[in-house]
Amino acid sequence: MRIEGNSKTPGGIAHRIQALAGLALIPMAACLFSGCPTGPGSTTNTTPPTPSWSILDQTSQGALDNIVPAGSSITVFINPGDNYMATFHAASPSGIKSITLSGSGSVICHNNQPPFNEASPFKYTIPTQTIVLAPQPGGQFFTEAANPFFFTWALFKGEAAGNAPASPALAKCGDQVPLLGTTTYVGQATTEAGATSAANSLLVTTCAAGALSSPSITCP
């Protein structure tokens, strides 16, 4: 497992992309704003893309970048109630043809009491969002791509409804908040040569007592 943390990662790009939330082309903005690298690509290299993850806590502005699981998944912890951006990244000299992100999760009220507790949690899904990357001028292809998801606990005015999948539980738990639970994100990418990476997961879990720094790979 390799993790590089950078608590000073700027949130400017994240906020500019999030301002466009609800449009089908939003994830592509990650490359348009940040300038994903390009190359000549290959249609014969059958090596799958290299996956990684990043997470930005939009409340604390803390971040973990280049999170590479030793296996198929890794867990990071975040302060309860903090909005955040989870991003699946893929890289390949062959060129990235498509990159997909989906998710699911469950939450309970903060004191583990009804209407949502460990015996009967509120469950939700995050529908699959797929970016198909078109060839670039001069026969170039994106050799890196990113697919972000903005998770907000409450549905704010102008916010895309899909960005707050746990908001019904937030309303029903009343003052038993912030909510506690885990969201599992799954990412896959395919190259111009048709090689697809294995499904790779990032689990984002609320740290009930609060993380020493959010996000974090440990929870006190």
pTM: 0.85
* 20-74 per-position pLDDT tens digit: 333 334 444 455 445 678 888 888 899 999 999 999 999 999 999 999 876 789 9
pLDDT on residue 220: 85
Dist CA 94 CA 36 (whole Å)? 14
Taking residue 38's Cβ as centre, other Cβ atoms within 10 Å add up to 19
pLDDT on residue 35: 64
* 181-203 per-position pLDDT tens digit: 999 999 999 999 999 999 999 99
Give the pair of three-digit tokens for residue 13. 């790009």
Taking residue 146's Cβ as centre, other Cβ atoms within 10 Å add up to 28
At a CB cut-off of 8 Å and minimum separation 6, what does 95 contact?
39, 41, 42, 133, 141, 142, 143, 191, 192
* 100-145 per-position pLDDT tens digit: 999 999 999 999 999 999 999 999 999 999 999 988 888 899 999 9
At a CB cut-off of 8 Å and minimum separation 6, what does 52 contact?
66, 67, 68, 89, 90, 91
pLDDT on residue 49: 96
Dist CA 133 CA 63 (whole Å)? 26
DSSP bridge pairs for 51: 90
